[in-house]
Structure 1
């Protein structure tokens, strides 16, 4: 609000000058009325001239020149009332524009204002409040009811309820179980809980979001820059029409009326308001677009390139089946395998541990552990000799493997388990597609995406098996980061390209694409930094919501701009023909400006279309 004070003051002066002048005029003192109107115009004109000079020094020629010409011409030719109306309309219009943009940015400001400054750390059996900079991975934090999680971590207690609406747009609290990930910025909606820190504050999800939001707020859209370029054309047309009206009729008042009705132009009002409102609305649905240029480009995307692991799939292997070979139950097989795998840092081992904890299994500490890298582990779990690893590794130490034991289809991994020297069972794991992926891709096609391409470093057999039936236009496998980059460059020949990924290896391709989209909740920091758009949760359906918001916001901006310019030109022609006086022209132009700004603000109410499991519009 502090930045708006000069605008408020100028609008107040213009209004006061107009009212004083009208009072003097109605009291039969026209000369004094003219002075009152001029007194209200001059401060606004002076401020406007300073803005024009600043723009000229930076190489920008804007439509503010038309406003300055109209006020100056009106005073020169004795139309002080028209000049006063223009001054009030111009200062009031800039104030209205500032208010409209402020309202559009409100959700982003709310996001920034939620940044925690300290946290309650649990150490040596006592709680201590410490600055965020002192928190390190492995620390235990107490998050009390109503507090915001200050850093990323995992839930250390049995359960918690978190309100993630500020990050994801989800209106209902989310229930988490022990070991589940907690995003910084989420609010504790239930009882107090403890969390284990996994990232420093500066590297956390919320800190990254804040940095991206701050960058987004400073951006200017391509359409806004286009408005600056076309302002020269509009300025030339306005001045030419004004002087043509003067020259053909000999009446300078017609030229004044033309200049007045061209001030200020909707070209510089509607576009930034609509696009900034679109940024705010997209953030509400968990899609952080780094700036108005990205939003405008996102609305024109026709080709989408998708990474597989962590994008189409969860990126974390899950248990598909447990096959028993002895007397142990499924839970006992998993418990032995996960307990021994606690001593391994292999991703598959950690996935087994996470799956066991998700089932509420207690995992004893393994002893006498010996790991054979790439093959398996041996050790003792609760006093019993346990083997976990590949089928050949376990069979070589506990008994012959069954024929075809490793054949579970592309992408699947079989983990064999033996207890006390006898086969206990096998755990089949796979990185499956995210639920609703097929419907999402159909929705993307219906939303205007003409080409869908998979780009992955996985083997072709795995890529084709995972994406079978999805209707992709191309599947590119066995790709290095450099090959992904070249694929993006090749696809750009057919139009704007969007690339979606989550790993460090995706960062070059994300940076090369017209729009790079990173999976922000669990993706690598490098991919989030290289991307233009970050999905705040690992739900790919947010991409469809983001595209719908971007396209609708751009459409509203264009609609407002075209309608406003069309009405302004019609008014200028009417003024040139003598149908409008300068005062009437000023009043009509202000009505036009208010109308286009209010229309642009409709972008704040954009609601992405819900889709059912078939990809069609949901029945609500």
Structure 2
């Protein structure tokens, strides 16, 4: 019989025997009434005796001895009805405790229940059900509707997946063939086939289940400390009861003291609150491995970040396209990405992904050859194409002025670029960058609001690159060119000044994560070594969840402390009232139960969101759609930047024609997009966010965008037939640079807002 079933059984027996005894007593059968009450008291006495002996054996707090003495003492004093009532109160308290623990650990236990046990594997032309431990990497598996993905792997067919168990995202996610697949997600659509990429033991979900199981068995330092304080209550209660008896000669006063001497505010409130906090975290995709980690997270004031993969996305993405005079940016990207299809290098994958996002039709490369450390070469559309370093792309080409200017800018920004050479001539370059995560600026602000006083960025990058990233994000300290050993030393030094949290995602972060007071690993699909070394794993690969985790930890700490202080204060007051004769045993039993209920209900508040309430939110699908609209407009932004760079060097008639083409794109695509936002989207967001005018700043950005576009149109309309005049060229160039800057800033602000609302 489980502990919860035992507690419910004791409650039922105590209640039924109390009612039966009371009916017998009122009917005049006092002897039979006492037997009925004894039938309810004995199981409680036996249970308390067993738990007290077990606590002594385990060297834990044996506080059940107070309840044992109270029930037995009441029976010996002839308070048979009071003894039965005390037994009922105690049984109901135990049942309430079991309910609270079950409710608090519901999300964590759901993860364990969710674990798959078998898989459908393709064998000898048919699907066969096999035990999960027999699945190997490379096996072809079938996942039916409603089934759990058994192992990590990749999709053979498109699928609709419920990833809520891992990420907290309620809406099903559409995944395309070839995309990675994590175990633990649920098939929310039609059956699909997948290719196993790992065994069950090495898959994401098995690792999470192991971590959850360990978390459920852990006892936090605060819980153990509460046990010790609860143990001090036993001699205190006995001393007060003995003193009351000796001073008054009334044994009933001693009994009343024992009845109300409840240790529940200590031994119950703390663990319930801690488990509630851990469950609340799990609901938000934050796996806290132990109560100790949650407590330390609540005390943290110093935070260290790894840069790559933590503050940044950890993968190369298109930042800008530079084209030689006379060539369009899309032409440069199409040729480079066509050749890049033949390589698995991270830069090549970034080029292909950028081209596909823009809908560019890629050609099939031929005669491809790769020079390690330099780049690729091959034939595309019958032309000799090279991508890679400048020396590799066009070894015989002299550096043009635009190339010299680009190289200077790359040096200033600490960025890199893939150069494109066609038939021996450099036609352009694609600048790649590891972009800052969309949620990182918001996460930094939230962490500062949460009370983090020192935020240091650790990175192996050059000092100038690291300082630029740190300045953009507003971290308090930047430590560049850091080896794993130096990261470890920095954390050891910081621990002399307070509790240190370290956030990282790679194998080289594992030593620092293990050394910190609280190690936080980014993403369940990240490096296994970092997840194993960490105390907290962000199952959702978002940095702002760390700020949520700290907020949950601090709220849990406050609730546990409130429960302990208020509950123990009430218990001590009740003990004094009983000692002075103001609280008889029967009333004391009822009061003790009310104190227990109040303490448990208060501790259960840690399961709910904080007093800030439910944040404004939009469906994630809508957030992604809004961000994808910006991706579609990226080509227009590239045209603005390209024309700003080129307008002074283009022939007058070509410059005027390009300006007219750009104005048409701005009017039909970008301006139409901004007008739709202003007319329909912004009022909806303002209603969600609240306040008098929360979208005022972004609406102001729209007005400036409209002004600049109108000015460009007027200048274009005022030009002579032979083309753009010399006096207007500097003004056009200035307006284009202004428009480029404000559009990129405006899009970044909107993307951050949509990203935050989509996660809420």
Q: Does the pair score TM above 0.5? A: yes
Partners in 2 of 1:152 and 1:619 — Cα distance?
Answer: 42
Q: Which residue matches 2:275?
A: 276
Match of residue 564, structure 1, among 556, 564, 567: 567
Structure 1 stretch displaced more, 260-269 or 360-369: 360-369
Q: CA deviation at 1:540?
A: 0.8
> Are 2:30 and 1:30 aligned?
yes
> Are 2:488 and 1:485 aligned?
yes
Match of residue 585, structure 1, among 588, 591, 596: 588
Match of residue 438, structure 1, among 437, 441, 466: 441
Q: Which residue matches 2:464?
A: 461
Hey, which of these two has a bigger chunk of helix by percent? 2
Q: Secondary structure at the match of 2:82?
A: helix
> Are 2:447 and 1:448 aligned?
no
Kindly provide the CA deviation profile for residues 550-595 of structure 1, in whole angstroms up to 9, marking residues without a partner as x: 2112221221222111111111111000011111111110111112
Match of residue 603, structure 2, among 596, 600, 603: 600
Q: Which residue matches 1:257?
A: 256
Q: How does 1:235-314 map to 2 (within 5 A)?
A: 235-263=234-262, 265-314=264-313
Q: How does 1:366-377 map to 2 (within 5 A)?
A: 366-377=365-376
Structure 1 stretch displaced more, 326-335 or 35-44: 326-335
Confirm or deny: 8 A CA contact 2:233 2:263 kept in the other structure. no
Q: Which residue matches 1:318?
A: 317
Kindly provide the CA deviation profile for residues 304-336 of structure 1, in whole angstroms up to 9, marking residues without a partner as x: 111110000000011001222377754554344
Q: Which residue matches 1:386?
A: 385
Structure 1 stretch displaced more, 114-123 or 557-566: 114-123
Confirm or deny: 8 A CA contact 1:339 1:364 kept in the other structure. yes
Q: Which residue matches 1:78?
A: 78
Q: How does 1:519-558 map to 2 (within 5 A)?
A: 519-558=522-561
Q: Which residue matches 1:90?
A: 90
Q: CA deviation at 1:194?
A: 5.1
CA separation of 1:62 and 1:172: change in aligned 2, threshold 3 A:
same
Q: Which residue matches 1:517?
A: 520
Q: Which residue matches 1:168?
A: 167
Q: How does 1:338-417 map to 2 (within 5 A)?
A: 338-359=337-358, 366-381=365-380, 384-396=383-395, 400=399, 402-407=403-408, 408=410, 409-417=412-420
Q: Secondary structure at the match of 1:396?
A: coil
Partners in 1 of 2:176 and 2:539 — Cα distance?
Answer: 20
Q: CA deviation at 1:359?
A: 4.7
Partners in 2 of 1:30 and 1:311 — Cα distance?
Answer: 73
CA separation of 1:346 and 1:239: change in aligned 2, threshold 3 A:
same
Q: Secondary structure at the match of 1:537?
A: coil
Structure with the larger RCO, 1 or 2 (CA within 8 Å, 6+ apart): 1
CA separation of 1:236 and 1:19: change in aligned 2, threshold 3 A:
same
Q: Secondary structure at the match of 1:374?
A: coil
Q: CA deviation at 1:404?
A: 4.1
CA separation of 1:182 and 1:363: change in aligned 2, threshold 3 A:
farther
**Structure 2 unmatched ranges of 5 or more:** 618-687, 692-760
Question: Which TM-score applies when normalising by structure 2?
Answer: 0.75
Partners in 2 of 1:619 and 1:502 — Cα distance?
Answer: 36
Partners in 2 of 1:59 and 1:466 — Cα distance?
Answer: 53
Q: Secondary structure at the match of 1:415?
A: strand
Q: How does 1:156-195 map to 2 (within 5 A)?
A: 160-177=159-176, 180-191=179-190, 193=192, 195=194
Q: Secondary structure at the match of 2:293?
A: helix
Partners in 1 of 2:425 and 2:177 — Cα distance?
Answer: 32
Kindly provide the CA deviation profile for residues 468-507 of structure 1, in whole angstroms up to 9, marking residues without a partner as x: 1422221111111111111111111121111110000111
Q: CA deviation at 1:605?
A: 1.6
Confirm or deny: 8 A CA contact 1:326 1:425 kept in the other structure. no
Confirm or deny: 8 A CA contact 1:502 1:520 kept in the other structure. yes
Q: Secondary structure at the match of 1:350?
A: helix
Partners in 1 of 2:123 and 2:404 — Cα distance?
Answer: 54
Kindly provide the CA deviation profile for residues 511-536 of structure 1, in whole angstroms up to 9, marking residues without a partner as x: 11111110124421101011111111
Q: Which residue matches 1:100?
A: 100
Confirm or deny: 8 A CA contact 2:327 2:427 kept in the other structure. yes
CA separation of 1:611 and 1:516: change in aligned 2, threshold 3 A:
farther
CA separation of 1:122 and 1:362: change in aligned 2, threshold 3 A:
farther
Count of residues paired in the alignment:
615
Structure of higher CA gyration radius = 2
Partners in 2 of 1:380 and 1:109 — Cα distance?
Answer: 57
Question: Which TM-score applies when normalising by structure 1?
Answer: 0.91
Partners in 1 of 2:134 and 2:368 — Cα distance?
Answer: 35
User: Could you say what the CA RMSD is over the residues aligned between the two structures, in angstroms?
Assistant: 2.8
Q: Secondary structure at the match of 1:60?
A: coil
Partners in 2 of 1:121 and 1:363 — Cα distance?
Answer: 36
